[in-house]
Amino acid sequence: MLKQFLQYKLSQKLSPQQIQLMKLIQLPTQAFEQRLKQEIEENPALEKGKEESNEFEDSNQERDENSDSEVIDTQDINIDEYLSDDEIPSYKTQANNYSPDDEEKNIPYAGGISFNQMLLNQLHTYSFTEHEEGIAEFLIGSIDDSGYIRRDIDDLIDDLAFTQNTYTNREEVLKLLDIVQELDPPGVGALNLQDCLLIQLKRKQKSSSRILAIEILEKSFESFAKKHYKKIFQKFNCNEEQLKEVILEIEKLNPKPGGSVAGNNKISEQIVPDFTITISDGELALNLNGRNAPELHVSREYNNMLKGYKDSKTKTKSQKDAVLFIKQKLDSAKWFIDAIKQRQQTLLLTMNSIMDHQSEYFMTGDERKLKPMILRDIAEKINMDVSTVSRVANSKYASTPYGTKLVKEFFSESMKNDQGEDVSTREIKKILETVILEENKKKPLTDDRLSVILKDKGYPIARRTIAKYREQLDIPVARLRKKL
């Protein structure tokens, strides 16, 4: 049996313009500049720079008043000639002027050869048969950016057979691997950390401490890595002073020999702060990076075309089609200008609220002064959605008197201290970090002991929470922090 009934449902849908605005808000300064450049290139009705007069505002009003009628068209204007590719549009020739204090906006690109090519160039100074050269080049191609070959020898042999049609054996691969490991930087081509450190030590001039270091790494690498020093004293019949010299020798080695070379050929990452926070006469001041506030205006020529079309007595179909295109571009330009203004307002409003909330931190630079603050706190203050605040916090940087910080770093959860007051987890982590920094490295503090110390300081934190915060701070367990 079929039934008909009415159902009322309240739902919220974002318009394409709202979605575009959200995307604009999320963009950091450099990405925003690229988006702006793209929009200007795609929409000739949008121009950068200051408009000389306000006539376009009058024509905008006329356009808005007549937008619903069919009375806008011109016969006199040759639309095709205006849109001709032969002429360079004015927005292409205008200079992009920034304030003198703005940083250079071009991102430098690194020059030079790649890490892999540098190794191949060294390899070609050796004498090989064609078969051997193919295997050696394959080994170099298997080296990652850190300088390691992180694969089993048998896997390399199988890959050579299947992908290069080169048949070899373990003995030949190891022989050629020894040659690859002679290349610079020292330690390159190692199969693991132990291998990497040994290669570097064996290339240094021999000394008693280096000979002992090689012996310890070859025979007791695991005990050394886990700092089981008592086992090493017993096994190698050495004293504390000798082991200190060994540790000093090993600390001078590079655990990632390829890192310094491979990284030089990547595009340099440049952070451009979106906000600048300064202290003037004991007061905090916030400024938005000037590149986020470009001067844009709607093309006067496009407005004149619509005005001319409106005054025209006869309208052809081609002119109507052209004027629809012009109208679409003008609407798009007007919306984009409004969206940028709204973006500026949103960024300033959000960051102002964050700055006010964390004013004590910004005045002192002491991370222990950071108050608990979550996205909802700011969203409620500025009467905006949490997702909007999240878009600002996750992708924007602020230049402060204490360095350039990611905005989301100012947010943290809260915990109760022994007085029942809300304190920031960032404050607790900073105190934990300070306690560990000041500990006796010969007898590092365990997580249980750290928990007791923080409790005495007024922060009742469980041992498992201490372990979690320590891992977040990238601090190893007590045993691995031990020093002689």
Taking only the tens place, the pLDDT of each residue in 262-302 is 555 554 457 889 999 999 888 999 999 888 888 887 777 77
Instruction: List Cα–Cα distances, 363 to 145, 167, 396, 412, in angstroms.
Output: 42, 68, 20, 18
Residue 104, pLDDT > 60, answer no
Q: What would the CATH number be for the domain defined by 112-190?
A: 1.10.10
* pLDDT range class, residue 261, cuts 50, 70, 90: low
Average pLDDT, the chain: 79
110 compared with 169, residue with greater pLDDT: 169
* pLDDT range class, residue 29, cuts 50, 70, 90: confident
Give the tens place of pLDDT for each residue, 85-99: 434 444 444 444 444
Query: For the domain 414-484, what is the CATH superfamily, name and number?
Result: Homeodomain-like (1.10.10.60)
Query: Buried (b) or exposed (e) across 128-146, using 16+ Cβ within 10 A?
Result: eeeebebbbbbbbebbeeb
Give the tens place of pLDDT for each residue, 360-381: 989 998 887 888 888 888 999 9
Whether the domain at 112-190 and the domain at 414-484 fall into the same CATH topology? yes
Q: What average pLDDT does the segment 163-190 reach?
A: 91
User: Token digits for 9?
Assistant: 């449902």
- Sketch the domain layout of the chain as residue ranges: 16-91+269-411, 112-190, 193-256, 414-484
Which alpha helices (H) appear in 312-407, and where do they start and end? 317-357, 359-364, 375-382, 386-395
Q: Is the peptide bond before 257 cis (omega within 30 degrees of 0)?
A: no
Residue 393, pLDDT > 90, answer no
Backbone angles phi, psi at 469, to 5 degrees: -65, -40
Half-sphere exposure of 230 (CA within 13 A, CB side): 1
Question: Residue 136 in contact with residue 178, Cβ under 8 Å?
Answer: no
CA distance 20 to 246: 60
Residue 196, pLDDT > 80, answer yes
